[in-house]
Amino acid sequence: MRNFNGLSARGAALVTGASRGLGFEMAKKLSALGFDLVITGRDGEALSRAAEAIGGNVSAVTADLSVPGEAERLYAAATSGGREISVLINNAGLGASGEAWTVPAARDAEIISVNAASALILTKLFLKDAAKRGFGALCNVCSVGAFQPGPYTASYYASKSFLHSYTLACRYEVKKYGVTVTSLCPGPLDTDFFRLAGAAKPALSMSAEKAADYAVKRILKGRKTVVPGVLNRLARLVPAGVKTKVIAKMKRIQNSE
Ligand SMILES: NC(=O)c1ccc[n+]([C@@H]2O[C@H](COP(=O)([O-])OP(=O)(O)OC[C@H]3O[C@@H](n4cnc5c(N)ncnc54)[C@H](OP(=O)(O)O)[C@@H]3O)[C@@H](O)[C@H]2O)c1
């Protein structure tokens, strides 16, 4: 019997976007807790390096989650040979910066495919198996950006709002089957994310390791919404309209630097 609350583990954890950043750090923690790992990303060499650094029993599957059919192929590869995925972390994600109408539609489509559509498909595939088995822990990595609109990074915030809402609805549906569902909502992290999104990294960024350390134990305990960082948790008390104005101002300053 898996005892997630006691943090003892058997079975495998599937972590998307685990070649670097938050996904890599969460995979490392899960491996240290005794989970076998299936990690994924687009860059096979980066994945191999990550697998070596994580240690333990790690399988790497390359997949581009912006491409239709890849989420299904990934889940089939992860569960092949009867491997039981007891934990799924939908972490792969990307953003874009700039006025909404200046962001290329292809980039927005990629954001929606990876951050929302692929996470939704993997959620369905995992919950179907987990509900039948009667246990499992799912975490969808959203963002504090899920809690209000994000001017100058509109499609990213919208994708995370979608995922957060979908995640919490699923949580209610599968509770009766003994399956937990968590929305992880980090604030700014010290990763490659902002550079790749064409934005400046905010001054107060948390290390991915610290965020992973805070998150993994809470995911395994089945917490509902997990927000690493006391300031990020306090910010949840601020009305969404006020936060939207502050975000707009901050992004304008960051983008002009
Ligand atoms: N950084 C932040 O401030 C922050 C704040 C809140 C929430 N988050 C969320 O946390 C998650 C991890 O972010 P991070 O900061 O660790 O970013 P990161 O360092 O850029 O890592 C992103 C990961 O996702 C993978 N990935 C990107 N596009 C993919 C695709 N099309 N198909 C498959 N994998 C893909 C990347 O691998 P490849 O490039 O090799 O594919 C990489 O492993 C994301 O969901 C992000 O939205 C980040």
67 burial class (0-12, 13-18, 19+ CB within 10 angstroms)? middle
Q: What is the average pLDDT score of the chain? A: 94
The runs of H, that is alpha helices, within 134-184 are 154-174
pTM of the complete model: 0.96
Nearest-CA residue for atom 25 of ligand 1 = 17
Mean pLDDT for 234-244 is: 96
In ligand 1, the atom with minimum distance to the C-alpha of 66 is 31
The CATH code that applies to domain 12-256 is: 3.40.50.720
| Residue 253 CB contacts under 8 Å (≥ 6 apart), including other chains | none
Span 183-196, pLDDT tens digits: 999 999 999 999 99
Mean pLDDT for 33-38 is: 96
Q: Which residues surround ligand 1 with Cβ inside 6 Å? A: 17-23, 41-43, 46, 63-66, 91-94, 114, 141, 143, 186, 188-189, 191-193, 196, 208
In ligand 1, the atom with minimum distance to the C-alpha of 20 is 43
Instruction: Please give the pLDDT value at position 7.
Output: 45
Which residue of 73, 74, 94 sits with most ligand 1 atoms within 8 Å of its CB, as the best mutation to test the pocket? 94
Span 122-141, pLDDT tens digits: 999 999 999 999 999 999 99
Nearest residue to 116 (alpha-carbon basis) of 142, 150, 134, 135: 142
Compute φ and ψ for 183, nearest 5 degrees. -100, 115
User: Is the confidence at residue 255, as pLDDT, over 80?
Assistant: no
> Where do the structural domains in the chain lie, given as residue ranges?
12-256
Partners of 206 in the β-ladder: 189
Nearest-CA residue for atom 20 of ligand 1 = 193
